[in-house]
């Protein structure tokens, strides 16, 4: 049967059995409609109730303050729930296309689809309830524990609340809409002006922020968020994993928040506030990371940039062609700079343990320590920069004006260049390594090991050159206090060396135009003064040798016991102590030597002028040698051998001149006890024998 336009008043009941049809029924206060058949276009007023039983189907009912209950097996479509009205969909019941107006309520434990909840209206999805396609047009949807909602649209003023245990997927939050997630969410889209909050216990996956905002609160977790022009904020206690930040997008990690494995693409920005933590961020070309918190394990690709701000601490980043800038107050450790990558350490910034590979660059105006620079990599210590303990394993370090480098180790293929105004201390230059000091640069305490090289055009102090190592002092270079322990020092034209100590196989070579002063030549050490070179105030100790080549100049040398000077150039004012010896070879010319117990031998073609021979000293004039104006004092001896000549010798008390066969002495003066012995074949010409002196022929 069928009934049309019935009115069910207080206490009245309309029962529509299976197969029965009713339309236009009005259920007033106190009235009841029980529907197991089909109903259309009814109205349920305040206080009235409609129950749709199993098999019942209702369409187009308006709940004008009244209630509609959809039991298991029942269904309602197109219901409008007005002020005070309530639609209850039990487990197994179905409601579709419901419109919940202001003051209306839908309680869903069954299935719902395509509803619209207007401003002031509310929908609750209880445990077991499943809803799809609802539009919150200013109204609210609450998904309780065990409930689920898919494909909801949250428009301006609308709010979707997902409680712990609730599930939502595919929600679209438009401008002015809000989603509060304490349960589980999947694949949401948050448009510009829309917002999502992942609350404590909430877990969200795969949201897309198309200009909208996502806030991950304490205890909340978001993964796989795609940030397209919107922003994600990870608050204290919140965490985000595998976010992708695209052009115009921003991920902000607040103090106490954490983000893992984010990807920042062109035009995207990741900002890590003080106290925030990130790990494993991938910064692509055109992407930016600003770090004032803690970061680790980032990868910055070509065109990408990372800035470590004041208070920021980063470790283990890889610059795969990208850039890292460490601002004042920021620090980074164990960064790896690959080809095309650049690490810039600003004044007040700190970098430690950086690895700079081939094609990578570090520019240091702050503080650096413990870097490793491999072949093809470069480090520049700029003005104000201070670096300590770098290892150049084939790479280069340049110390600019105002920069300071200490304890650098230069290995095979590596090079350290100290420019004008730069300084380096305590470097170690190993085999195959090179230290170059430009004019105006300063180095001190460099250790040059076997196979290592230092080229000095600036100022150097206290270097140690080991066996096989070499130091070259170029034009304009000034070195002081070097120790050659088996190594070699070459003083080139225009170079100056002072206070060098040469021992154990070490060699100092003073080339044409070079100058050396105060060299100490110990056992096994040697100094060679080439033509045009000059040496002054050297000390030659036991086992040491000074060689002055033709054209070389020497003055003020002190030759100790066991020390030797071989003079083929010009010498002046040497002192030869007991056990020391000076040999003047062909072309050599010496003046003003003092033999304090030591010996001077003048070979063929050599000459000595104004030598003073004191006690224990001996001047020997060999064949072809010439001595002029020698003074022989008490216990001193001048011995002339075949072909040797002496003129103007003064032999004082206790002194002896011995003229052997073939030798000639002329103009000798025997003063106050001096002795002249003229041996067989010897010749003395115009000798003056004063009182107390003796000439024995």
First vs last C-alpha separation in the chain: 174
User: What is the count of structural domains for the chain?
Assistant: 1
Backbone angles phi, psi at 685, to 5 degrees: -120, 130
Which residue, 476, 541, 475, is CA-closest to 506?
541
Residue 25 lies inside a defined structural domain of this protein? no
Please check whether residue 492 is in contact with residue 473, taking contact to mean a CB–CB distance below 8 angstroms.
yes
Residue 194 lies inside a defined structural domain of this protein? no
CA distance 293 to 271: 9
Please check whether residue 156 is in contact with residue 136, taking contact to mean a CB–CB distance below 8 angstroms.
no
Residue 646 lies inside a defined structural domain of this protein? yes
Residue 652 lies inside a defined structural domain of this protein? yes
Which residue, 232, 242, 239, 294, is CA-closest to 263?
242
pLDDT at site 442 = 99
pLDDT at site 496 = 99
pLDDT at site 75 = 98
Residue 382 lies inside a defined structural domain of this protein? no
Q: What is the 3-state secondary structure (H, E, C) of 452-486?
A: CEEEECCEEECCEEECCCEEEECCCCEEECCEEEE
Residue 410 lies inside a defined structural domain of this protein? no
Q: What is the 3-state secondary structure (H, E, C) of 625-687?
A: CEEECCEECCCCEEEECCCCEEECCEECCCCEEEECCCCEEECCEECCCCEEEECCCCEEECC
pLDDT at site 297 = 98
pLDDT at site 128 = 98
Q: In this predicted model, what pLDDT tens digit does every residue of 135-157 receive, in sequence order? A: 999 999 999 999 999 999 999 99
Please check whether residue 86 is in contact with residue 76, taking contact to mean a CB–CB distance below 8 angstroms.
no
Residues of the chain with pLDDT under 50: none
Domain range for 670: 590-697
CA distance 649 to 637: 11
CA distance 79 to 285: 53
pLDDT at site 327 = 99
Q: In this predicted model, what pLDDT tens digit does every residue of 18-56 receive, in sequence order? A: 999 999 999 999 999 999 999 999 999 999 999 999 999
pLDDT at site 488 = 98
CA-to-CA separations, 229 to 48, 174, 209, 286, 291, in angstroms, rounded: 50, 14, 7, 14, 20
CA quadruple 166, 169, 174, 179: dihedral, nearest 10? 20
Residue 266 lies inside a defined structural domain of this protein? no
CA distance 397 to 10: 97
DSSP 211: B
CA distance 232 to 212: 9
pTM score, whole prediction: 0.88
Residue 549 lies inside a defined structural domain of this protein? no
pLDDT at site 564 = 98
Residue 440 CB partners (closer than 8 Å, separation 6+): 401, 419, 420, 421, 458
Which residue, 520, 530, 536, is CA-closest to 481?
520
CA distance 497 to 514: 8
């Amino acid at each position: 049967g069928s009934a049309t336009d019935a009115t069910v008043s207080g206490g009245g009941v309309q029962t529509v059995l299976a197969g029965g049809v009713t339309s236009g029924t009005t259920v007033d206060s106190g009235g009841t409609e029980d529907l197991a058949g089909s109903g259309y276009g009814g109205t349920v007023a305040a206080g009235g109730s409609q129950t749709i039983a199993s098999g019942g189907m209702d369409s187009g009912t308006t709940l004008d303050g009244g209630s509609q209950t959809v039991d298991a097996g029942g269904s309602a479509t197109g219901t409008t729930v007005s002020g005070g009205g309530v639609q209850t969909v039990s487990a197994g019941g179905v409601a579709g296309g419901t419109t919940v107006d202001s003051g209306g309520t839908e309680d869903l434990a069954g299935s719902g689809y395509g509803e619209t909840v207007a401003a002031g209206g509310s929908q609750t999805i209880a445990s077991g309830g499943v809803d799809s396609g609802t539009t919150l047009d200013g109204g609210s949807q609450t998904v309780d524990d065990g409930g689920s909602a898919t494909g909801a649209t949250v428009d301006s003023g609308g709010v979707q609340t997902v409680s712990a245990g609730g599930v939502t997927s595919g929600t679209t939050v438009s401008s002015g809409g809000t989603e509060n997630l304490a349960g589980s969410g999947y694949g949401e889209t948050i448009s510009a002006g829309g917002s999502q909050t992942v609350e404590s216990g909430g877990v969200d996956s795969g949201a897309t922020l198309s200009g909208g905002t996502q806030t991950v609160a304490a205890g909340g977790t978001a993964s796989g968020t795609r940030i397209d022009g919107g922003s994600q904020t990870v608050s204290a206690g919140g965490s985000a994993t595998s976010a992708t930040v695209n052009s115009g997008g921003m991920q902000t990690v607040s103090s106490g928040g954490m983000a893992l494995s984010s990807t920042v693409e062109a035009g995207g920005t990741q900002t890590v506030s003080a106290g925030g933590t990130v790990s494993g961020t991938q910064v692509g070309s055109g992407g930016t990371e600003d770090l004032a918190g803690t970061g680790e394990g980032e990868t910055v690709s070509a065109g990408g940039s990372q800035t470590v701000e004041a208070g920021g601490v980063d470790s283990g980043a890889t610059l795969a062609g990208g850039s890292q800038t460490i601002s004042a107050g920021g620090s980074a450790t164990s960064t790896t700079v690959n080809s095309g990558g650049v690490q810039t350490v600003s004044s007040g910034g700190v970098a430690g343990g950086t690895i700079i590979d081939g094609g990578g660059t570090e520019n240091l105006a702050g503080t650096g320590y413990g870097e490793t620079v491999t072949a093809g990599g470069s480090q520049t210590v700029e003005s104000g920069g201070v670096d300590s303990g770098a290892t150049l394993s084939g790479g280069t370090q340049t110390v600019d004006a105002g920069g300071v480098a200490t304890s650098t180790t230069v290995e095979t293929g590596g090079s350290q260049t100290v420019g004008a105004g730069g300084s380096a201390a305590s470097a170690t230059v190993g085999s195959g390594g090179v230290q170059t000091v430009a004019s105006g640069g300063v180095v001190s305490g460099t250790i040059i090991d076997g196979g290592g090289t230092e080229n000095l055009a600036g100022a150097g102090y206290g270097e140690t050159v080991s066996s096989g190592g070499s130091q070259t002092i170029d034009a304009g270079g000034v070195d002081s206090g070097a120790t050659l322990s088996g190594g070699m020092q070459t003083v080139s034209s225009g170079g100056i060396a002072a206070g060098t100590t040469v021992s154990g196989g070490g060699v100092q070579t003073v080339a044409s135009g070079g100058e050396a002063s105060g060299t100490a030549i110990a056992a096994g050490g040697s100094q060679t003064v080439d033509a045009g070179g000059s040496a002054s105030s050297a000390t030659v100790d036991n086992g040491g040798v000074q060689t002055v080549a033709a054209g070389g100049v020497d003055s003020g040398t002190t030759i100790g016991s066991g020390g030797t000077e071989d003079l083929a150039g010009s010498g002046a004012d040497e002192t030869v102590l007991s056990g020391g010896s000076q040999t003047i070879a062909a072309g050599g010319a010496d003046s003003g030597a003092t033999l304090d117990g030591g010996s001077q031998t003048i070979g063929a073609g050599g000459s000595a002028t104004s030598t003073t021979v004191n006690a224990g000293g001996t001047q020997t004039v060999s064949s072809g040698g010439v001595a002029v104006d020698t003074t022989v004092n008490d216990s001193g001896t001048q011995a002339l051998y075949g072909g040797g000549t002496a003129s103007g010798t003064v032999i004082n008390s206790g002194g002896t001149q011995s003229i052997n066969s073939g030798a000639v002495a002329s103009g000798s003066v025997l003063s106050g006890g001096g002795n002249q012995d003229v041996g067989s074949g010897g010749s003395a010409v115009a000798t003056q024998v004063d009182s107390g002196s003796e000439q024995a022929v």
